[in-house]
């Protein structure tokens, strides 16, 4: 009986492999059930739960270059470029402050970019295409530039050491720098004189009789030329010029200097 069953089973397998018909117990011939053997091709896997049909792959967010709180020369360039297209009116200061963040956000919104207030690669490239390379005095329009080394004539005694190259003033005593401030000079039509002078008159609340303009904390050193506070310099920076005087924008600093400088102290104006 077992032998008969084995033979039948063998015959069934052979029939399937050969694709022939088999005869049933009713005497009728029937097509066998076709069984396909594996051919080595894996069946397609069902899509992962996250990959739904029709879903699109999100592009990675652009890298953030600078954001609020960052400082440095790159921030000055960002601010200078934003000023060129009237999105920023203060600075450059070199600090990514709230005004810079608001300017970047406005620029982004105007151009259909995400309004994050952070400067990412896409925002920066768009800004580069719309602006020119800022010059040195665009970056330091409102001051903040480093001072160059003092002139040798400033290293002895008490001296206001004024550099036209770096646009800075060092108040020095016996070769030691007490205070450093950015300064502004006269235009090409009213240039600030160069050389070695001395303070001959101090006038705390001076008003120019020639130009009818305030000259607080004036320290005169050559004719009508003086070192003094300038509200115009404080407001416009290097976008303007003096009538030959040495302008200081930091009122607190020049008030401190005015209190220390004496008549007869040396004034050196150099390149």
Residue 204, pLDDT > 80, answer: yes
Confidence of residue 37 (pLDDT cuts 50, 70, 90): very low
Dihedral (Cα; 227, 228, 232, 235), 10-degree rounding: 100
∠ CA 15-19-25 to the nearest 5 degrees?
A: 50
- Domain assignment of residue 217, yes or no: yes
Catalytic one of 154, 161, 206, 228: 228
The overall average pLDDT reported for the chain is: 85
Structure confidence at residue 55 (pLDDT):
54
Query: Are the C-beta atoms of residues 96 and 70 closer than 8 Å to each other?
Result: yes
- Write the CA distances from 32 to 16, 62, 157, 187, 266, integer angstroms: 6, 63, 117, 106, 117
Query: Are the C-beta atoms of residues 204 and 258 closer than 8 Å to each other?
Result: yes
The verdict on 132 and 156 lying in the same domain is no
Task: Give the structural domain span for 235.
Answer: 152-270
Q: 215 versus 14: which is more confidently predicted?
A: 215
If you average pLDDT over residues 100-110, what whole number do you get? 98
Concerning whether 205 is annotated as a catalytic residue, the answer is: no
Concerning whether 154 is annotated as a catalytic residue, the answer is: no
Residue with tokens 């009789």: 209
CATH code of the domain covering residue 249: 2.40.440.10
Domain boundary among the residues 139, 173, 201 is at 139
Catalytic one of 154, 161, 206, 245: 245
Interval 44-57: pLDDT, tens = 334 444 445 555 56
- Domain assignment of residue 47, yes or no: no
Task: Count how many Cα atoms sit within 13 Å of the Cα of residue 197 in the half-sphere of its side chain.
Answer: 22
Domain boundary among the residues 107, 139, 171 is at 139
Structure confidence at residue 150 (pLDDT):
97
């Amino acid at each position: 009986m077992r032998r008969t069953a084995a033979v039948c089973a063998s015959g069934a397998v052979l029939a399937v492999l050969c694709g022939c018909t088999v005869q049933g117990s009713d005497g009728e011939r029937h097509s066998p059930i076709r069984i396909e053997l594996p051919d080595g091709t894996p069946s397609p896997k069902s899509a992962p739960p996250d990959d739904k049909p029709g879903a699109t792959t999100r592009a990675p967010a652009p890298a953030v270059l600078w954001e609020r709180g960052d400082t440095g020369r790159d921030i000055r360039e960002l601010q200078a470029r934003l000023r060129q297209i009237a999105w920023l009116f203060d600075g450059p200061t070199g600090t990514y402050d709230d005004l810079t963040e608001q300017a970047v956000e406005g620029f982004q919104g105007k151009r259909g970019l995400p309004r994050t207030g952070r400067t990412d690669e896409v925002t920066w490239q768009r800004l580069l295409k719309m602006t020119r390379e800022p010059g040195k005095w665009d970056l330091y329009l409102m001051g903040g530039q480093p001072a160059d080394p003092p002139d040798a004539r400033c290293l002895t005694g008490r001296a206001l050491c004024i550099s036209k190259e770096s646009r800075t003033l060092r108040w020095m005593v016996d070769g030691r720098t007490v205070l450093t401030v950015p300064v502004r000079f006269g235009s090409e039509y009213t240039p600030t004189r160069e050389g070695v002078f001395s303070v001959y008159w101090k006038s705390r609340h001076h008003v120019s009789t020639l130009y009818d303009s305030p000259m607080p904390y004036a320290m005169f050193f050559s004719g009508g030329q003086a070192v003094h506070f300038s509200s115009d310099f404080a407001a416009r920076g290097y976008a303007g010029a003096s009538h030959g005087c040495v302008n200081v924008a930091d009122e607190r600093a020049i008030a401190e200097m005015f209190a220390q400088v004496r008549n007869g102290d040396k004034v050196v104006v150099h390149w």
